[in-house]
Amino acid sequence: MNFPLADLEGIADLLGDVLGAAVGGEAQRALSHPELIDALSVVELLGRVTDAARLALAGEVGRRADSEFGDGAITRRFGCGSAQELVERATRVSAATARARLRDAKAITGRMTLTGQSRPAPLEHARAALAAGRLGADALTTIVDALRPLQGRVSADELEAAEAELVGAAVGDALTPGCGIHELKVMATTWALFLDPDGTLPDPEYAARMRGIRISRRSRRGLRRIFGDVTEEVAAQFDRLVDAQLNPRAGDRAPRFTDAAAGGDPEERVLDPRSVDQRRHDAFASILSVAAGAAAMPVLGGAAPTLIVTTTAEDLASPDGVAFVESVAGPVPVPSSVARHVGCHGTIHRVTVEANGAIKALHVEDRVFNHWQRKAIGARDGGCIIPGCTVPAAWSEVHHVVEWANGGPTAVDNGVLLCWHHHHGIETSGWEIRMVDGMPEVRPPAWIDSRRRWRGPNRLLLHELRQARSA
């Protein structure tokens, strides 16, 4: 039977028109909640059938590109260097997508022996479930990633048993619904560990040999790229440190501003506008800041590793001023706000330079809160005082409410805890802080509270005790 290409093109056009009219624009907004979920399920089923056809055809391209075809290979016919390039050009998908399709398709594509006999696909159960529209592409990828390394290491019967169990769990049956991708990954990993524990356990020698972190020397619009590979235990430790700041339940405990005495507004929720990656960056910055001052940290030149920021008095006072930080790439320009931020919780060394570059004088101005002051402020505030922030006291920095440069003292009743993110952006974020009878108060920006009312801080210990007692 001839391949019904023209029929398929007509069906695709008709299906596009039907779906466009059924779920496009106003039509999808008119759907009830149950109708919306039903439509989502139906369209997903159509997508699975399409994914099955995509993989089947990509697998055939991969088969015809093999060396066994010689000069008749499909890649030679179309002037491409590889099956990936041919799929990429024919479908106009990315190289990563073409590569992934060919990888997964190889597991569900049958082969012909030299004697002309057909051999089943390496994962025949997955191929059948995919062709029937019961197995999704994501589930197939999960199964392939887990079982492909086992080929040649375990018996064919063991591999088939694992495949059958995983496919069955993914598609479900009349009594049990199919599992999600997360559950499928857990099951696939368990099967791999059971069948081949030596091959699936981490290789400590390889990890030790390949570990490494690199930082780009060139800056792109104020950003430098960090990339590399870390061992599992280092990654796990970093995750724990980040989790200490980015409490995963922060969204459940986001504070609400209320003013019962004023009789006023409905509750307003304080949301963090940062993306997950931005929050992780800010947590990383706090970790570096804490680590630099740790007692166990090796010293440089007899002192703790210190970030050196250079600027002029004029630039320091200007909102648009420029400062420079020292790095392996040499002096790197940064906004003068970085100097003000660093200076807020560090020792300042002012160097006066003659016209010919000679040093005229060196003045050391210590504006750092001492150990006991920090403990007292931490006991009072508990952590970053900005509502909605979950960074604890150990990861926070002490901020001068009245700037030290403006005569503010380095005293407990002029210091509050702020995390790296809120401390770094306190000049531009719209949050304001003041001290009233030795206790901090914060005022949110207008987009959070249109009335801009002063409130107690996020973790005011006395406030929490009162709430606990009244509960």
413: exposed, middle or buried (C-beta count within 10 Å: 0-12, 13-18, 19+)?
middle
Place of tokens 């005495």: 261
pLDDT recorded at residue 370:
75
DSSP conformational letter for 149: G
Each of the 471 residues of the chain gets a pLDDT tens digit; together they read 455 555 555 656 666 666 666 666 677 777 788 888 887 888 888 888 888 888 888 988 988 887 666 777 888 888 888 889 899 888 888 888 899 999 999 888 887 666 667 778 888 999 899 888 889 889 999 999 888 888 878 888 998 999 999 999 998 887 888 888 888 988 888 888 888 876 655 666 777 778 888 887 766 777 788 888 877 777 777 777 777 666 544 444 444 444 433 334 433 455 667 777 887 887 787 777 777 666 565 555 555 555 666 767 676 667 677 777 666 555 667 676 666 656 555 555 555 556 666 655 555 555 667 778 888 888 888 888 888 777 778 778 888 888 766 777 888 888 888 887 888 778 777 889 999 888 888 888 887 777 888 887 765 455 555 555 555
Separation of first and last alpha carbons in the chain: 76
Do the bridges between strand 256-257 and strand 432-436 make them parallel or antiparallel, or are there none, so unpaired? unpaired
E strands in 80-184: 111-112, 118-119
Residues 6+ apart with CB under 8 A from 387: 255, 257, 270, 442, 444, 455, 457, 458
pLDDT of residue 308: 65
**Rounded-to-integer distance, Cα 455 and Cα 464, Å:** 14
Look at residue 261 in the predicted model and tell me its pLDDT: 37
What pLDDT was estimated at residue 447?
A: 78
- For residues 178 and 220, is the Cβ–Cβ distance under 8 A? no
Checking phi first, is residue 229 left (phi over 0); if not, alpha (psi -120 to 50) or beta? beta
**pLDDT at position 254, please?**
40
CA distance 201 to 210: 16
- pLDDT for position 359: 58
Residue with tokens 């056809």: 53
Cβ contacts of 109 within 8 Å, gap of 6 or more: 56, 59, 60, 62, 63, 121, 127
For the chain, which residues make up each domain, given as ranges?
A: 39-113+120-200, 246-299+369-471, 307-367
